[in-house]
Amino acid sequence: MIDKIKEHIALVEAFSTATKAEVEDFRIKYLGSKGLLKEFFAAFKNVNDDQKKEFGQVVNTLKNAAQDKVTSLKEHIDASQEISGVYGDLSRPGAPISLGSRHPISIVKNKITSIFSNIGFNVSEGPEIEDDWHNFTALNLPEYHPARDMQDTFFVQTNPDVLLRTHTSSVQVRYMEDNQPPIRTISPGRVYRNEAISARSHCFFHQVEGLYVDKGVSFADLKQTLEFFTTEMFGKSKIRLRPSYFPFTEPSAEVDVYWGLETETDYKITKGTGWLEIMGCGMVDPNVLKNCGIDPEIYSGFAFGMGIDRIAMLLHQ
Ligand code: PHE
């Protein structure tokens, strides 16, 4: 009998499985209510007195070995299921995800911001829902100013003080309120105007506006900056400035870049003139500087602003 039990101890110690069902069968076989251990313990009373001590020891050894085996096999199976369970092996390298592509508007915006950051401009951003002061009044567009009609505005609810910004000049106002010159910043962002939607225009679109304020900034600096920009952006350095009007700049100009008339597409996009209108610009009106807490007796500046959706259409067909 003792030898038989010792054989079982060896079997128990050698036992191994990877399934919970087999562990359970094993447990029932040894530790179950009709299991082998029950049998051996029941046999104890019939064992000769001189063997009782050894018998008791081997049965207990078998019992402990069986219990330890069940516990350790269960732990092992649980741990390996965590790794290869519903999530698979969490330590495996990820499956490669094929790259997406950037939207043409983002490509153009990034190109513009990198050109200007190369010459010392930083990027500033502001809220798309604006108040009247930052979008209009601070920019020399008081209430009832007819030039407000240039920018058909979406108002938020019925409050005329809360609106969707019509240009990112509002960000420049915020920037000047928070910073003293020297200022070199460009403000990219989405803007909104209540205009008819067509293949060439939408009621929301994207702008990049620029602002440079320092001592002694002149119109010549503006022109040089724009020339640098068009050369970097389009590979075209010939520009012309046509007199124009914006309430926040004086003097103001419209910037055309000479695109050329080499291909049929050139004819189409320049309407047969070879010139392409790309932005508005001008010297910041002293009133605007004053409104934003900058002394126009000491400082002057230039500003420009362009819509980037058409540029994106142009460059990406
Ligand atoms: N804010 C003007 C617009 O949205 C563009 C502009 C910016 C013009 C700065 C001049 C100077 O049309």
What pLDDT is stored for residue 302 in this prediction?
A: 98
Q: State percent of the chain over pLDDT 70.
A: 97
Q: Measure 155 CA to ligand 1 centroid, in angstroms.
A: 20
Average pLDDT, integer, range 287-297: 97
> What percentage of the chain's residues is helix, strand, coil (to nearest 5)?
45, 20, 35
pLDDT at 27: 94
* Among candidate residues 244, 128, 253, the one with its CA nearest the CA of residue 192: 128
**144 vs 5, residue with greater confidence:** 5
Q: Which two tokens stand for residue 212?
A: 């440079």
Average pLDDT over residues 274-295: 96
Q: How far is the CA of 304 from the centre of ligand 1 (A)?
A: 6
Percent of the chain with pLDDT over 90: 71
Residue 130 tokens read as: 């604006």
**pLDDT value, residue 150:** 66
Give the Å distance between the CA of 103 and the centre of ligand 1: 24
The distance from CA 133 to its chain's CA centroid, rounded to whole angstroms, is 30
Model pTM score: 0.69
What is the rounded (10 degree) CA torsion for 125, 150, 314, 111? -20
Q: Is the pLDDT of residue 21 over 70?
A: yes
Q: Which of 139, 140, 151, 169 should be mutated for ligand 1, with most atoms under 8 A from CB? A: 169
Pocket of ligand 1 (CB under 6 A): 167, 169, 209, 246, 249, 280-282, 303-305
Identify the pLDDT of residue 305.
Answer: 97
Predicted local confidence at residue 200, as pLDDT: 78
Give all strands of the β-sheet with 239-246 in edge-to-edge order.
122-123, 183-192, 204-214, 300-307, 275-284, 249-258, 239-246
Measured in Å, residue 118 CA sits from the centre of ligand 1 at 22
pLDDT digits (tens, 9 = 90+) for 61-87: 999 999 999 999 999 888 777 666 666
Atom number in ligand 1 closest to CA 191: 4
Question: Taking all residues of the chain, what is their mean pLDDT, rounded to a whole number?
Answer: 91
